Amino acid sequence: MEPERESSLVEILDRLLDRGAVLNADLIISVAGIPLIGLNLRAALASMETMLEYGVMQDWDKSSRELYARQEIKLRLHPDEEIVFKTFGYLWQDEGVINRWVPGIWNITSRRIILWLRSPGQVLFEAPLEDLRVLRVPSFTAEKLELELSFSGGSARISLTDRDEFEEALGRAAGITVAGARIEANKTGQMADQARGSIRQSFALDRSIR
- How far CA 192 is from CA of 51, 56, 198, 206, 209, in Å, comes to 11, 11, 10, 21, 26
Task: Say yes or no to pLDDT of 72 above 60.
Answer: no
Question: Helix H segments across the chain?
Answer: 9-18, 48-53, 58-70, 163-174, 185-209
Q: What is the pTM of this model?
A: 0.54
Distance CA 206, CA 166 (A): 43
Mean pLDDT of the chain: 75
Distance CA 126, CA 152 (A): 12
Our separate counts of H helices and E strands in the chain read 5, 9
Task: Say yes or no to pLDDT of 97 above 90.
Answer: no
8: helix, strand or coil: coil
Distance CA 69, CA 89 (A): 10
Sheet holding 83-94, edge to edge: 122-128, 112-117, 99-109, 83-94, 154-160, 145-151, 133-137
- 154 vs 182, higher pLDDT: 154
Which domains are present in the chain? Answer: 1-46 (no CATH), 49-188 (2.30.29.30)
Task: Say yes or no to pLDDT of 156 above 90.
Answer: yes
Distance CA 13, CA 170 (A): 38
- Average of per-residue pLDDT across 88-109: 86
Lowest mean pLDDT among 16-25, 73-82, 128-137, 188-197: 188-197
> Hey, what's the torsion of the CAs at 48, 49, 51, 54, to 10 degrees?
170
Q: How far is C-alpha 134 from the geometric centre of its chain's CA atoms?
A: 19
Judged by phi (left if over 0) then psi (alpha if -120 to 50, else beta), residue 149 lies in beta
7-28 pLDDT, tens digit per residue, is 677 777 777 777 777 778 888 8
In this predicted structure, what is the pLDDT of residue 188? 39
Q: Parallel, antiparallel, or unpaired for β 145-151 and 133-137?
A: antiparallel
What is the amino acid identity at position 129?
L
